[in-house]
Structure 1
Amino acid sequence: MTSCDTDDLSSDLTVYAARLVRLVRREHAPSAGTRVLSILDELGPLGITALAQADRCSQPTMTGQVRQLVEVGWVTKTANPADARGTLVALTDAGRAELRRIRRLSAALVSERLARRTDLSTDDLATAVAVLQAVLDPTEGHS
């Protein structure tokens, strides 16, 4: 494969991955809180500032989102042992359950669309997943 092929396919991968995310969002209309739950699931407990940076929003916006998530019991705020002035936001079991519920809805949407595509196999899907995992895990494949 040439560098041009790789560049074109990499661009296509980015475009179609983003379109898939937008499709899922349109169908389920997840809240901004869903993104926060996903970030905490991926990165672990974070302070408000780090969480806002990860979500690319302002600190006041993130403070409001976290407040709402605390109210519904999906996250907790505890004192940050590394910074007495700050707090750490962490997922609760209820937050993890909500994230699993949302992910099941997303999976059902994709599964339903895949079921209509008789030209695609489970192996094709496994390859797509493996490629996305490899792109997202920069440490894999390095010796």
Structure 2
Amino acid sequence: MAQSESLLVASSDLVTYAARFVRASRQHIHHTPPAGIRVLSLLDEHGASGVSQLATMDRCSQPTMSGAVAGLVERGWVSKEPDPRDARASLVTLTDSGRSALAVVRRRSAETVSAAITDHPTLTAHDLDTAVAVLVAVLEATQEGPQ
């Protein structure tokens, strides 16, 4: 297999296993929809945003994002207020309760990953540091930037 073909296979594997890894690390969070966590993360990173802007950032439809936001408003994790710059639009803002919920999800995910590394017979914290460095470098080389 040529090096470029090998790189393509490894790259495909990275995407596949990264997605599985994220899902596995969040299995213990039964009452928090993944879409909601993504929205909370986007608001944490980018600040108050409109529904259309959030949909663009999450690469979903505006109706899908509207539904996700409505669920988060019901939980009290975000607020939705009129946009002072555009009376036809609204701004979605992360609440203190939403910030706390996101911190809990991130902490539990970190604990799950940490336990998996600690319990693994050959992996070390250094291996995890290397994996993170590779992912950050790959993201920085794309339009996504580090997440």
Q: Which bracket does the TM-score occupy, shorter chain normalised?
A: 0.7 to 0.9
In 2, distance between residues paired with 1:69 and 1:50? Answer: 16
- RMSD across aligned C-alpha pairs, in angstroms? 2.3
After the TM superposition, which of the residue ranges 46-55 and 118-127 deviates more from structure 2?
A: 46-55
Segments of 4+ in structure 1 off by > 4 A?
A: none
Which stretches in structure 2 are left out of the alignment for 5+ residues?
143-147
Q: TM-score, normalised by structure 2?
A: 0.79
Comparing 88-97 and 119-128, the one that deviates more: 88-97
Which one of 110, 114, 121 corresponds to residue 111 of structure 1? Answer: 114
Name the counterpart of 2:98: 95
* Secondary structure at 1:102 match in 2: helix
Q: Report what 1:60 is aligned to.
A: 63
| TM-score (ref. length: structure 1) | 0.81
CA distance in 1, matches of 2:67, 2:3: 48
Deviation of 1:56 (Å): 4.1
> Quick one: distance in 1 between partners of 2:132 and 2:118?
17
Task: Give the structure 1 partner of residue 22 of structure 2.
Answer: 21
Aligned-pair CA distance for 1:23? 1.1
- How is 1:8-87 mapped onto 2 (pairs within 5 angstroms)? 8-29=9-30, 30-31=32-33, 32-87=35-90
How many equivalent pairs are there? Answer: 139
Provide Cα deviations, 1:67-120, integer angstroms capped at 9, x if missing partner: 332233211223324422101112122211110100111111111211221311
Percent pairwise identity = 53
